[in-house]
Amino acid sequence: MSLEFLCPDRALAANGSTPVARSPIDTLLRDAGARFEIREGWSVATRFTDPASEEAACRRTVGIGDRSWLGKLELQAPASTLAELLAAACGGLALELGKAAAADAAWWCPLSAERVLVLCKPGAARALRERLERAVTGRETAGVVDVSTGFAAFAVVGPRARDVLARLTALDLRPARAPVGAFRPGSVARTAAMVLRERPDSFLVLCGSAYAHYAWTVLWDAAQPLEGTLVGAIALERVEAAGELEAADA
């Protein structure tokens, strides 16, 4: 069975227009006043107010933003084969459960000994997927699935980021137990989710698209008492480009 219908970059034009992929919380973002741009086939919420103010909020307290437009690929293979595929595709990349590895402008997140979730910018997803597809060619027990539309992804960024998540999950996200690169599958707001610590001050929360509306709502509810702010892609990109924030973790 072909799974090409799951790949946003393989959408076919019809009646002179090409379908645009949208976040599973697109309606919530619009109701909150988000402004959108089309990027790499996705409708992306780039701002809610002034990006500079949103960036300042990320530095002062915490910003909550949608990043469901990230490319998400799942590489599946028996453990021994998976190690060979990673070595061939990523120059000897070795993974350990609980720890994601940054390579080739992507996060490689081990879900199990036989499954790896790869997160990347949407513009890089196609080339990366095709490279992995070439690597699995001829291996009947291995495969690559584009799950970009299957998962929602939310950024929690700023000195109070861990405080927000502490209200929703029992996962231990203290720096000593979850340093940068820590990847923790678990329960967030009683929903199956995954948490990636991208930087000392920045977390990415992933959940199934079917639960996105609920997960976003409770995440935003948890952030508001901490002076949280909704932020768009522009502010998130500026914070990422500027490097580490002054984290309040201990």
* The pLDDT of residue 3: 45
Same domain, 155 and 52: yes
Same domain, 165 and 198: yes
Same domain, 118 and 154: no
Same domain, 156 and 115: no
Same domain, 166 and 231: yes
Same domain, 55 and 94: no
Q: Which domain holds residue 181?
A: 21-69+150-242
Nearest by Cα to 66 from 49, 53, 47: 47
Q: What is the pLDDT of residues 28-68, one digit of tens each?
A: 999 999 999 999 989 999 999 999 999 999 999 999 999 99
Q: Which of 146, 172, 201 is the last residue of a domain?
A: 146
pLDDT band at 149 (very low <50, low <70, confident <90, very high): very high
Same domain, 34 and 77: no
Q: Which of 146, 171, 197 is the last residue of a domain?
A: 146
Same domain, 222 and 172: yes
Q: Residue 26 corresponds to which tokens in the numbers above? A: 């697109």
Supply the DSSP symbol for 224: G
For residue 108, give every residue at least 6 positions away whose Cβ sits within 8 Å of its Cβ, in sequence order, or none: 86, 90, 93, 95, 100, 101, 102, 116, 117, 118
Same domain, 31 and 62: yes
Q: Residue 210 corresponds to which tokens in the numbers above? A: 């079917």
Same domain, 140 and 76: yes
Question: pTM here?
Answer: 0.91
- In the chain, how many domains are there? 2
Q: What is the pLDDT of residues 112-128, one digit of tens each?
A: 999 999 999 998 999 99
What is the C-alpha to C-alpha distance for residues 200 and 182, in angstroms, rounded to an integer? 10
Query: Would residue 9 count as lying in a domain?
Result: no
Supply the DSSP symbol for 61: S
**In this predicted model, which residue has the larger pLDDT, 242 or 72?**
72
| Residue carrying structure tokens 């990636």 | 196
Nearest by Cα to 19 from 36, 35, 3, 43: 43
Query: Would residue 5 count as lying in a domain?
Result: no
